[in-house]
Amino acid sequence: MRPFLRALAPALGPVLGPVLSAVPAVLVLLLAAFGPQGAAAFGPQGAAASGPQGAAASGPGGWRLVWADEFTGPAHRRPDAARWVYDRGGEPQWGNHEWQYYTDRPANVSLDGQGNLAITARHERLPGMHCASGPCDITSGRITTKGRFARTYGRFEARIKVPGGKGTWPAFWMMGADIDRVRWPGNGEIDVMEVLGREPGTAHGSVHGPGYAAQGVERHTDLGRGRSLADDFHVYRVDWERGRITWYLDGRPYGSVRADRLGRGRKWVSDHPHYLLLNLAVGGDWPGPPDRTTRFPARLLVDYVRVYAPA
């Protein structure tokens, strides 16, 4: 103890004694308020190790944040391995005659250092690439939360800036987590957002299941006035409840699907946990091929992904 503190100790003792004696009681109150997990529930960076990251856990009115990625970190860092895994390779495994070959390289999937995830499609050919469709000279990225996070019902949203250019096909979507036991489309698929480079002003949302597989039940909205979704970030969202899914663009609903209105021969399978996916495809049956006007590298930027439960 320093000399001046030693001199003060007799005088401070009567003051500090009651304070220090109260510390155990304060700790008891804190444990009672926050539960037995206490600080152990948090990772070394102060965010919940397996829960929300960087966003207010209270969420918007009526919602409680249960999972998030804010994509903060230095440029070229890979996405958080505790939250995301990679899909790799080319067709025929994707089933849409797409041209891209997915990799796990930071050149295709990494943080941009500005608070975004960048999924980048590049016009290049790498050793070992094998593709059943297209010229096999485009790399890109696709990440999922399979085995990391899945949920039934809630509010699922992402703030995204899509790339422009014919043939590009960015998507934010969900797949039934039982896919290893139940083949698609029986496991279910919910597409929160798809944008075709040849229709840059239109956002598509859809759901797929038995009887509506290749041609899902689709809803869409258009910005109008010649505007493009590639010009800025937009918030793409679904509210998913039992028997109903509603799509939103920038907070405005533009379509919904109900289980009791699917029609004959269609089975509703959107009633169990789904995991999340982000990817940038190029070419394929729906978007068509890129052409000479398509600029590479093409980048899909994701500011955040957030999942909420009812409060």
- As annotated, the active-site residues are 189, 194
CB 221 within 8 A of CB 236: no
What is the chain's length? 311
CB 86 within 8 A of CB 271: no
CB 76 within 8 A of CB 41: no
Question: Which residue type occupies 58?
Answer: S
The DSSP H or E segment spanning 129 is none
**Could you say which DSSP state residue 311 is in?**
-
Can you give the three-state secondary structure of 204-272, one letter per residue? EEEEEECCEEEEEEEEEEECCCCCCHHHCCEEEEEEEECCEEEEEECCEEEEEEEHHHCCCCCCCCCCC
